Amino acid sequence: MSYEKLDKKINTFEIVLLIISKTIYNMKFLKKVEELPETLNEKTVYYNTQNNNVIIYKKPTPKFIVTYVVNENSETVYQEPTTIPIIFSQVDLNDITSFKINGENKSIDDIIYNQYLGHTYNFKQMGEYTIEYTFKNNIIPRYFLEAYVMPNVKNVTAEDGLELKEWYSFMSNGSDYYTNALEKIEWYSQINAEDQQSFLYLTNATKFTSFKFGNNKKIVDSLFKYAPFGNLTTFELDDNIEEIGNFSLAYSNLSCDLILPKKLKKIGNNAFSELKITKLVCYNELNSIGNAAFSSCSSLTSITYNGTKEQWNLIEKVNNWKGGIPSSCIVHCTDGEISIADA
């Protein structure tokens, strides 16, 4: 399909007139209104050059998508066969406006209350189930994936348009003996609360290998502190992130190469404490590195900086920013190298 933008924006009233009159500004006849592909800008009206259709796009309701695994381990954890809680007991059901299981609409009435487990949904057979939630005012409920839920969560996608205002113990299993199915998280919802605890605190998360995070200007303080990043093979941060807050990735055991966002301006205090990374890539938008930002990063041997040595030296760095980086580490700039001692 070939789409082109109309020269003028069309408001709601004009859309009504457009549909009634079946004409458009350039006098091309309207055959019908069709849905705009989501890859196009939702704030603009488009014209389909192939069939003369006018496309009016309404942004879809953002979803929180979770894939759950129901298997024999569910019986061990919950002591009830083929029963898995999909909502933690402290979540108000009124915060959930709809949910689908494997694409099929379900009623909130399908959720029952279990005195031991909280709100649950009973699955009739083993397998994987993908559930799409929509929330009241697009606010993700606090505690949504806490405690009993997490051992059965395989994949999580938080779409753009949602907001998480409180994240204390948001994704946490709370017990060492739980077996985690978690493999992948893609997070594009807004997170605004600062310096809480246990956003992603999971034990035995040995299958968790892929994490993508974006659509936030800042990784807020302590957000991924103690997160189970030790087995990640994919760790991607959106290039539009401008600040990595204090302790935001500290003690997470991240060991894969760390490529920082291209627009990153500030690295907070202790942001990367005790990471096991060996290589770091950063860009010349960076202008501030906080106290002990790389404390005890004893495996870091290479920093690639997409700027000159002069630009690197102009970055504001607290005296102890590099404490714990081995003396063999080299900063590779576009016009030469700097030893970590001189950096």
Concatenating the DSSP letter of every residue in 257-318 gives: -EE--TT--EE-TTTTTT---SEEEEETT--EE-TTTTTT-TT--EEEEES-HHHHHHSEE-
Q: Is the pLDDT of residue 85 over 60?
A: yes
Start-to-end C-alpha separation, the chain: 53
Give dist(CA 282, CA 259) in Å, integer: 6
Nearest Cα to 216, choosing from 245, 249, 238, 235?
Answer: 238
Residue listed under structure tokens 């298997």: 71
Cα dist from 317 to 69, 109, 297, 331, whole Å: 46, 56, 17, 14
Task: Judge contact between 215 and 238, C-beta under 8 A.
Answer: yes
Tokens of 17: 């007139």
Q: Report which of residues 310 and 76 the model is more confident about.
A: 310
Determine the Cα–Cα distance for residues 106 and 101; give it in Å rounded to an integer: 7
- State residue 3's pLDDT score: 44
CB 225 within 8 A of CB 253: no
Beta bridge partners of 240: none
- Split at pLDDT 50, 70, 90, the class of 34 is very low
pLDDT score recorded for residue 256: 93
Q: How far apart are alpha carbons 252 and 276 in whole angstroms?
A: 9
- Residue 17, pLDDT > 90, answer no
Given a cut of 90, whether residue 291 has pLDDT beyond it is yes
pLDDT tens digits, 136-175: 999 998 777 776 667 788 999 999 999 998 877 788 776 5
Sheet holding 118-122, edge to edge: 83-84, 118-122, 112-114
Tell me: the pLDDT tens digits for 90-140? 678 888 999 999 999 998 888 877 776 677 787 878 889 999 999 999 999
Decide if 285 contacts 264 (C-beta within 8 A): yes
Six token digits for residue 55? 């496309």
State how far the alpha carbon of 32 is from the alpha carbons of 21, 40, 56, 338, in Å. Answer: 12, 18, 10, 63
Q: Between these two residues, 149 and 261, which has the higher pLDDT value?
A: 261
* Integer Cα distance of 236 and 212 in angstroms: 5
Tell me if residue 74 falls in helix, strand or coil: helix
Location of structure tokens 């991240």 = 254
Four-CA torsion 113, 114, 118, 121, nearest 10 degrees: -70
Is residue 187 within 8 Å of 63, Cβ to Cβ? no
CA–CA distance, 171 with 32 (Å, rounded to integer): 45
